[in-house]
Amino acid sequence: VPELPEVETTRRGLAPLLVGRTFRSVEIRDGRLREPVPTALPALLADRRLGALERRAKYLLFRYAHGTLLLHLGMSGSLRLAPRGEPLRRHDHLRFTLVGSRELRFHDPRRFGLCVWLTGDPLLDARLARLGPEPLGDEFDGDSLRAALRGRKAAVKVLLMDPAVVVGVGNIYASEALFRAGIRPARAGGSLRTAETERLVAAVREVLLAALRAGGTTLRDYVDGGGEAGAFRVRLRVYGRAGEACTVCAAPIRCRVLGQRSTFWCPTCQG
DNA sequence: CTTTAGGCCTGACGGC
DNA sequence: TGCCGTCAGGCCTAAA
């Protein structure tokens, strides 16, 4: 389940191998993603040098002089550099062949991913224009989070996953951050006191940075640009651990659905 | 405005 | 063994 650490791990792994280089050919094997992959993509990328590989929220931006390839991993997507001769797997939907012996493959069993072409300033695209602050950036702090939550009655966990509040935090890291901050997920967002929003900001940063250092979390599908699974799963404190003992107090971890998502927390450590 | 529900899609899993 | 219902979830859209 790619969240910010997984997308950023992918970006960091691929950027040194792709930036400044050219895709010799692009093959759309199955363009039925969240939106249809533009059939003009091979022509658009032919003989063009990749200027930069950036990330905004969970989107990857392949920057070219004449436009931007916007790519999202959805919930089961991965991007991997494979040796050219390696047999294609089921769900290898896109192939970007480099000059040389390797090719970039977009693999996505559930096809919730996205791959579209943007011209002009990509940050003005509707998908990116209304996004909130990056969780690891300076604009995300206790004051801005408190302002974003003010008056909101929805559960703080649901709001943490709202990209207008802060980007990059999905279902796994939302539960993990609230555990680290000692805040109960069902609390109304607007009920958090100043000290709590400060703690939550710090906890979001800590868990995302720790996951980044471990190369992300692999539950099932995720692999980084080199095909490696993320190692953070063993460090998850509450996610997926319903009924197991809390690592701090040994109370059984609880689970309930909030905002149609499974939510995990420790009943004694959190509130 | 905020909040909630549904749809997209496949694979894994449990029950019968 | 095989079929079927359920679950998983990022993100968008529509409706309340």
If phi over 0 gives left and psi between -120 and 50 gives alpha, with beta otherwise, what is residue A18? alpha
- In chain A, positions 141-200 with C-beta closer than 7 Å to nucleic chain B are 151-155, 158-159, 189
Token pair, residue A164, equals 């207008």
Backbone angles phi, psi at A16, to 5 degrees: -65, -25
Protein CA A59 to sugar C1' C12 (Å): 15
pLDDT band at residue A221 under the 50/70/90 scheme: confident
Query: What are the tens digits of pLDDT across the range A125-172?
Result: 999 998 999 999 999 999 999 999 999 999 999 999 999 999 999 999
Q: Which nucleotide is nearest to A109 (CA to C1')?
A: B10
> What are A42-100's pLDDT values in tens digits?
999 988 999 999 999 999 999 999 999 999 999 899 999 999 889 999 999 999 999 88
Which of these is catalytic: A11, A55, A56, A58? A58
Report the alpha-carbon distance of residue A110 to residue A78 in Å, rounded.
11
Are the beta carbons of A150 and A39 closer than 8 angstroms?
no
> Which strand B bases fall within 7 angstroms of a protein CB?
2-6, 8-12
* Residue A175, CB, strand C, below 7 Å: no
The pTM of this model reads 0.95
Tokens of A15: 């950027």
DSSP A72-131: E-TTT-EEEEEETTSPPPTTEEEEEEESSSEEEEEE-TT---EEEEE-S-GGGSHHHHT-
Tell me, yes or no, if A153 is annotated catalytic.
Answer: no
Could you tell me the pLDDT band of residue A188, with boundaries at 50, 70 and 90?
A: very high
Distance A182 CA to C15 C1' (A): 35
